[in-house]
Amino acid sequence: MELEPERLLQEARENVEAAQSYRRELGQRLQGLQEARRQIKESASQTRDVLKQHFNDLKGTLGKLLDERLVTLLQEVDTIEQETIKPLDDCQKLIEHGVHAAEDLVQEGEVAILGGGGEQNEKLWNFTKKASHIQLDSLPEVPLLVDVPCLSAQLDDSILNIVKDHIFKHGTVASRPPVQIEELIEKPGGIIVRWCKVDDDFIAQDYRLQFRKCTSNHFEDVYVGSETEFIVLHIDPNVDYQFRVCARGDGRQEWSPWSVPQMGHSTLVPHEWTAGFEGYSLSSRRNIALRNDSESSGVLYSSAPTYFCGQTLTFRVETVGQPDRRDSIGVCAEKQNGYDSLQRDQAVCISTNGAVFVNGKEMTNQLPAVTSGSTVTFDVEAVTLGSTNNNEGGNFKLRVTISSNNREVVFDWLLDQSCGSLYFGCSFCYPGWKVLVF
């Protein structure tokens, strides 16, 4: 009976904790509602501003186009008028000259007829001689009215119906964009962005991905294409970035509304090649290595063991040089200077001809040859920790998957000692090879 109060007290405490948890959950949901309300309000306000600005711009552009067309038509009227009036002006001058000549001849003839005396015959003779030189029966051709232009404006009123139809169909208001960002996956020095369609009726032809630092006001284009996944590189660690995506419908020119921006960051240290190696030139971020013309040979290693088991390490071959079977791209337990290739103990690699090497031994399985644009990925997982009862000399087993050109090989890699992280490296005998690591 004495335990009953304790049970009641315990139940009361549990109920209080449950109520507190319930209150926290409700508070989070209220916050979610506020964010949803804010998104609706802000997007509605932005949409109004965009619509007003667009239609104001459209009205201004249409007004300019109509003014330009009016000027062009008026110029055509002026040109036709000038070109067709000129022959009439020339004809008028000729007629007026004839009128003046006829008037002078009439006056001279009347004087000769009315004149008397002995000089009359001479005046009549001179007048008759002069009149014979003037072609009084030759009249200039005057065009009929049907033969000269009668200008008019041909204006098709149906354009109003066409424009009205286009205007009434111009623009739409979408309550949701047809594509949304689905997942953000952090990578060393990068973030993989995946997106998907959320409108089954929308047929996407291309996608457009943009990103920005959260401290920036300007989004930058980083990808345009038909894929639904892209890795954004040159990401600074522990810095927040925003990503958004839109789509272009099949056969359309305009882009859809942007997706809801998603924020992501990478906590992983970017992969870097070791600087100062004579045979290789590095990019500013040291994630791209170019085999130069130096006669120096050897393996270019990572600056630190930044590759951890369970991650995916990716090499992308940007350009190629002359291949050699001693070439190598891979990972190793530790740096070992004095070697020309990763085809050695405590390392796994792929040669540019597709051959796979494990601890210096070539495997029977082979991958396609490495070409420009090839992507080679390494996935390493710990299988066994501690000592093993085998005669292969290893006490730490890793399962390695190497993928290249849509093919992969899977094998176990035995190391002499356990290691939490690995180095990566590459070696090329001839210049021209450029490799990006991420």
**Band of the pLDDT at 7, cuts 50, 70, 90?**
confident
Q: Which of 173, 208, 243 is at the close of a domain?
A: 173
5 domain-assigned: no
d(Cα 381, Cα 379) in Å, to the nearest integer? 7
Cα angle 409, 411, 412 (rounded to 5 degrees) comes to 160
148 domain-assigned: yes
Beta bridge partners of 376: 315, 404
Q: Which amino acid is at 121?
A: N
394 domain-assigned: yes
206 domain-assigned: yes
Does 351 lie in the same domain as 244?
no
d(Cα 425, Cα 329) in Å, to the nearest integer? 6
**Quick one: pLDDT at residue 138?**
77
d(Cα 243, Cα 265) in Å, to the nearest integer? 10
What ranges make up the beta strands (E) of 214-254? Answer: 220-225, 229-233, 241-249
> Positive or negative CA dihedral for 341, 347, 352, 354?
positive
In this structure, the number of other CB atoms found within 10 A of the CB of residue 327 comes to: 26
Cα angle 326, 270, 346 (rounded to 5 degrees) comes to 35
Q: Write down the mean pLDDT value for the chain.
A: 89
**Band of the pLDDT at 117, cuts 50, 70, 90?**
low
**Quick one: pLDDT at residue 391?**
41
d(Cα 154, Cα 320) in Å, to the nearest integer? 65
Count, in order, helices (H) and strands (E) of the chain.
3, 21
Closest to 255 (Cα-Cα) out of 295, 206, 214: 206
Domains contained in the chain, number: 3
> Quick check: 392 pLDDT over 80?
no
Beta bridge partners of 243: 211, 262
Does 215 lie in the same domain as 314?
no
Pick from 18-22, 365-369, 375-379, 387-391: least confident: 387-391
What six digits make up the tokens of 111? Answer: 């004087």
> Quick check: 387 pLDDT over 50?
no
d(Cα 413, Cα 394) in Å, to the nearest integer? 9
Does 259 lie in the same domain as 125?
no
Q: Which of 234, 266, 298 is at the close of a domain?
A: 266
Q: Which of 173, 193, 226 is at the close of a domain?
A: 173
4 domain-assigned: no
With 0.85 as the threshold, say if the pTM is over it.
Answer: no
d(Cα 243, Cα 222) in Å, to the nearest integer? 10
Does 257 lie in the same domain as 209?
yes
> What backbone phi and psi angles, to 5 degrees, belong to 386?
95, -170
* Domain hosting residue 219, numbered range: 179-266
